[in-house]
Structure 1
Amino acid sequence: MSNIRKFTRFSFGDLVATAGPTVIIIAVLCAAAYLAVDPAPPRQVLLATGQENSAYEEFGKQYAAALAKHDIKVTRQSSLGSQENLQLLNEGKVDIAFVQSGSTEEAEARRAGLVSLGSLFTEPVWLFMREPVAVTQLSDLKGKKINLGPEGTGVPKLLRKVLELNGVEPSDLTIGALENTPATVELLEGRIDALVFSSGPEAPLVQMLLQTPGIKLFDFSQAEAYARRLPFVSHVVLPRGIVDVGRDIPSQDYHLIAPTATLVARDDLHPALVDLFVQSASQIHGGTGWFQTQGQFPSARFTEIPVAREAQKFYKDGAPLLQRYMSFWMANLLDRMWVVVVALAALWIPLSKVVPPLYVWRIKSRVYRWYGQLRTVEQELDAATGKDRAQVCAAMLKRLDEIEAMVNRISIPLAFADALYGLRSHINFVRQRVRAAARDETAAAPAPAAVV
């Protein structure tokens, strides 16, 4: 039975020995392609938000909660606002941030390697004043104490452009640079006349100041004109009674100018994270609001920064197909597998043509190498002359017996048995040749002299 097992239809061991290095090479190259071409998304991302009690801060919490459901940690970094967020992005200190429209230009954003994930919501410019202050036009602010906020926010730059349209120079005002919360305290205490900041209506400070007695919101009655002169702002209306219908707060419609908040990322942010942030934005900002209708945001419009390819695809086709039916990580894994499939196909097609010939060569080499031994026997036989020829023939016959015994122990698949039997017949052929040479030598030897 042990001898029968030597002859099988297929040699698994030889296949492993032949194809093993090829399989290992393919596996290593596919793994390298999987990791280098499309690595797994990171489990942590840095998000720059805004000041305390701002809409940016509130929305940052919501994004952190949304991505936490997919086991991705969003580390929120507070800032002064839009301008500081842009600086953090340019310096590579954060991965993604809230940025106000008008804070940069398209060419500058391209040079810095920034992409937009879309506009999220309008954030009106809120100009709150103490009730005794009589301001009906922005030119009436001359000589007043007004807080524009730190330079790290987008408001000082924006309001300077608005004041310039009204013929008001910064030197005509006493300008403060406090953050929103301490500036609100100064306004309530009467130490400043007005407070300006830009934020979504969800911000706690906006909600509080709209309902605070003695504090009045400025009505930008020329808001449409500002929107035509400044392309990065739009004209929005705060409807009467939107804060509290029962108490009729506010008691009139207010016209406001509003830049748009956008989500901006570095262009090296992993595409899967871009998809996840845009999907979260759709859930967080997709509903109705004080200044928006259902489905108006998020949007690829209202941003001067180039929109990321993945975000554009989402706004056109919706969420990726796999992510609609399975978890983020499973969908991402399957989506990335095409890289391995392409690499595997590119490698397997040429290498598959090499493995079969190598397998055949490995099997037949067990037979063919013995032909060298037979050739050596024939060469020694041809070289033997004289009286040593008979001894050489005897040695050659013994050597051929040893070769045949070792050949009989060769394990070879049945498909190659013809080569084995051919070798054995050739051994016998050489043996017959050696025996013939030995007979010829014996016949040619002189007879011994007779003894008288």
Structure 2
Amino acid sequence: MNKKSLLFAFLLAMLTVVLVACGGDDKPAKENEKGEENNEAGSADKPKFMSLLTGGTSGTYYPLGGGIAKVISDETGIQTDAVSSNASADNIMSVEAGDAEIAFAQTDVATYAEEGINAFDGKPVKNVVGLGALYPETIQIVTVGKSGITSIEDLKGKKVSVGAPGSGTFINAQQILELHGIDIEKDIDAQYLDFGESAGGIQDGNIDAAFITAGTPTGAVEELKASAEVVILPMDEAKIDELVAKYPYYAKDVIEEGTYGLKEDVTTVAVMAMLVVSRDLPEDVVYDMTKALYENTDKIAHDKAKFIDGKTALDGVGIDVHPGAQKYFDEVNK
């Protein structure tokens, strides 16, 4: 091909490119404009599915989580599924790793995660933030009448469930036992069981007592009541004051007479249950989730739903709160 023909072919190709670009300018421009609008609203990054990590199926997290997941699904259009898990510490680690978007956790465990202590020793989480607090989680030290155990000090030398590995219950057990002069590794025969396994172990006589940190009444303990006299070990007022002074996320709590067939009120302590979310979730998505939860508690078929309140949702939360959740709480607490 001579130079003249080559030049002509080049000019023709360039003209074709220009014509195509001009001819298609209108439609792509509209698509781009729409895309930019979506990005500004955050909907371009809106997930289609989310996982909500809960806890063992015999605790409070799992059934309550099912109700919360349904509300979020119905109100936001994002399919959200409640998934059973080992609870607090493991839940936070899973959200940090990107394996889930939302999770239940105790407020104390969330604080440990942010500070990089206890189960998170030297590995503070960076990508997990708070959505809001839900309800008080009572530390219940459960045994039965025939065990002869009437005080926390009586647990020395006994076979005691201290919660599933990675759970907040384990840390509660460790701190409370230590306060009473009991080393979790040396002074008891520690068993690392979930709530259902703990109740079954007490019933079968395989263990003597169990720490259960959950909202009351707890399903596993209710099941135990059907076959035995449930005893909840009390905490002395002075010990409660000492515990709260050392760990401010604890608060005095009372398990009322009649719960599990108890003949009188039992004084103990509690932490708060909360939801944590991935920091990567868009602000508008978390705002919608938060609004959906705190304004539709009447649609959650669980006793603990009555405690879920936007006006107190930051009580006990010691970690950073997601901007989307904070925006909602700022609006309702004006």
The TM-score by the shorter chain falls in which range? 0.7 to 0.9
Equivalent residue number for residue 318 of structure 1: 332
Paired with 2:212 and 2:72, the residues of 1 have a C-alpha distance of: 29
Q: Which runs of 5+ in 2 are unaligned?
A: 1-21, 117-122
Distance (whole Å) between structure 2 residues aligned to residue 47 and residue 318 of structure 1: 24
The aligned amino acid for 1:178 is L
Q: Are residues 44 and 124 of structure 1, via their aligned partners in 2, closer, same or farther at CA, if it must alter by over 3 Å? A: same
Hey, what does 1:127 align to over in structure 2? 141
Give the alignment of 1:269-280 within 5 angstroms.
269-280=281-292
Shift in Å at residue 221 of structure 1? 2.6
Structure with the bigger percentage of helix: 1
Rounded to whole Å, the distance in 2 between the matches of 1:165 and 1:291 is 32
For residue 33 of structure 2, what is the amino acid of its counterpart? C
- Asked if the contact 1:130/1:190 (under 8 Å) is kept, the reply is no
For the residues of structure 2 that align with 1:164 and 1:239, how far apart are their CA atoms? 26
Deviations 1:113-156 (A, max 9, x none): 21101111111111111213344432221101101122121111
Aligned to 2:33: 30
AA aligned opposite 1:203? T
Distance 2:72 2:162 in 1: 34
Kindly provide the CA deviation profile for residues 327-360 of structure 1, in whole angstroms up to 9, marking residues without a partner as x: xxxxxxxxxxxxxxxxxxxxxxxxxxxxxxxxxx
**Contact 1:117/1:264, CA 8 A, preserved across alignment:** yes
Shift of the alpha carbon at 1:213? 3.1
Superposition deviation, residue 312 in structure 1: 1.9
Partner-residue secondary structure (3-state), 1:69: helix
* 2:215 pairs with one of 184, 197, 200: 200
User: Which of 38, 44, 49 is the matching residue for 1:44?
Assistant: 49
**1:384 paired residue number:** none
CA shift for structure 1 position 53: 1.8
Query: Contact (CA 8 Å) 1:234, 1:258: kept in 2 or not?
Result: yes
Change over 3 Å in CA distance of 1:270–1:294 after alignment to 2: closer
Q: 1:235 aligns to what?
A: 252
1 CA distance for matches of 2:204 and 2:311? 38
1:76 maps to 2:93: no
The 5 Å alignment of 1:101-116 reads 101-103=107-109, 104-108=112-116, 111-116=125-130
C-alpha distance in 2 between matches for 1:272 and 1:295: 20
Q: Residue 154 in 1 paired to residue 168 in 2?
A: yes
Distance 1:192 1:53, change over 3 A: same
TM-score by length of 1: 0.59
Structure-1 separation of matches of 2:228 and 2:320? 43
The list of structure 1 runs, each at least 4 consecutive aligned residues, that deviate by more than 4 angstroms after superposition, is 19-26, 107-111, 285-298
Residues 255 and 265, structure 2, Cα contact 8 Å, conserved in 1: yes
Q: Which runs of 5+ in 1 are unaligned?
A: 1-18, 320-452
> Aligned Cα RMSD in Å?
3.1
Equivalent residue in structure 1 for 2:317, among 289, 293, 303: 303
In structure 1, what residue type is equivalent to 2:30?
A
Taking structure 1 as reference, are residues 276 and 55 closer, same or farther at Cα in structure 2, changes over 3 Å only? farther
- 8 A Cα contact 2:257 2:264, kept in partner: yes
Rg comparison, structure with higher value:
1
Residue-pair matches, total: 296
Cα pair 1:238 1:291 within 8 Å, conserved: no
| TM-score (normalised: structure 2) | 0.78
Cα distance change on mapping 1:143 and 1:115 into 2, 3 Å? same
CA distance in 1, matches of 2:287, 2:310: 19
Change (3 A) 1:300 1:290: closer
Q: Choose the corresponding residue for 1:190, options 205, 215, 219.
A: 205
* CA distances 1:65-84 after superposition (whole Å, capped 9, x unpaired): 21232332112221111111
* Aligned residue runs from structure 1 range 28-427, under 5 A: 28-37=31-40, 38-40=42-44, 41-70=46-75, 71-103=77-109, 104-108=112-116, 111-170=125-184, 171-209=186-224, 212-222=227-237, 223-241=240-258, 243=259, 249-282=261-294, 283-284=296-297, 295=309, 299-318=313-332
* Structure (1 or 2) with the greater strand fraction: 2
Measured after TM superposition, the shift of residue 203 of structure 1 is 3.3
In 2: Cα distance, 1:185 partner to 1:111 partner: 34
Alpha-carbon distance between aligned partners in 2 of 1:56 and 1:290, rounded to the nearest angstrom: 10
**SS where residue 237 of structure 1 aligns?**
strand
What is the distance in 2 between the residues matched to 1:200 and 1:55? 6
Q: Which residue of 2 aligns with 1:389?
A: none
Q: Is the 8 A contact 1:119 1:300 kept in 2?
A: yes
Separation (CA, whole Å) in 2 of partners of 1:255 and 1:289 = 21
Judge conservation of contact 1:131–1:214 (CA < 8 Å) in 2. yes
